[in-house]
């Protein structure tokens, strides 16, 4: 549940920025869940300010400890806005992928020996908070590579 822990460590402003960046035709990525929680009709949720919707969406994920939903939210954000971070990590650590998509997670794990060098390059090219966000996903994805979780936890603070 590293991605849920990462979510809990995000500032409200950072979560709002991620949430707003995924807005599509006035809807936030989890507005459907927020509408259900508030007993709103789906189209009526747009009447609430985005800040309020984002706050409620965050509560939905945190309270349920829904790692899949957090993973999906973060993954969509990174692939939409920072795909080169994702593909760069995969390329630099030896993970076979097709445009950021990995077919076999179990037998296609990052090389722990390449982790430090890859992260140094990614930190130089990207916002470190986005690199750390991606590491939380990697820690969730590849528990068989404990160096990823160790590095993520050290960065999390």
- CA dist list (Å): 115 to 61, 119, 121, 123: 29, 6, 10, 12
Check: CB of residue 131 under 8 Å from CB of residue 141.
Answer: no
Mean pLDDT for the chain overall: 94
Share of the chain above pLDDT 70, in %: 100
pLDDT tops 90 at residue 146: yes
Question: Residue ranges per domain, the chain?
Answer: 2-66, 82-156
Q: Could you report the per-residue pLDDT of 8-25, keeping only the tens digit for each? A: 999 999 999 999 999 999
Whole-prediction pTM: 0.91
Q: Could you report the per-residue pLDDT of 36-70, keeping only the tens digit for each? A: 988 998 889 999 999 999 999 999 999 888 899 99
């Amino acid at each position: 549940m590293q991605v849920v822990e990462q979510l809990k460590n995000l500032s409200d402003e950072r979560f709002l920025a991620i949430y707003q960046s995924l807005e599509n035709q006035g809807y936030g990525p989890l507005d459907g869940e927020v509408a259900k929680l508030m007993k709103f009709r789906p189209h009526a949720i747009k009447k609430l300010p985005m800040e309020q919707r984002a706050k409620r969406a965050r509560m939905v994920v945190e309270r349920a400890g829904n790692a899949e939903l957090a993973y999906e939210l973060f993954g969509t954000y990174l692939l939409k806005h920072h795909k080169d971070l994702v593909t760069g990590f995969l390329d630099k650590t030896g993970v076979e992928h097709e445009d950021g998509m990995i077919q076999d997670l179990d037998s296609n794990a990052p090389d722990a020996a390449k982790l430090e060098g890859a992260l140094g390059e990614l930190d130089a090219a990207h916002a470190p908070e986005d690199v750390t966000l991606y590491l939380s996903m990697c820690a969730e994805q590849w528990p068989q590579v404990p160096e990823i979780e160790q590095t993520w936890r050290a960065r999390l603070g």
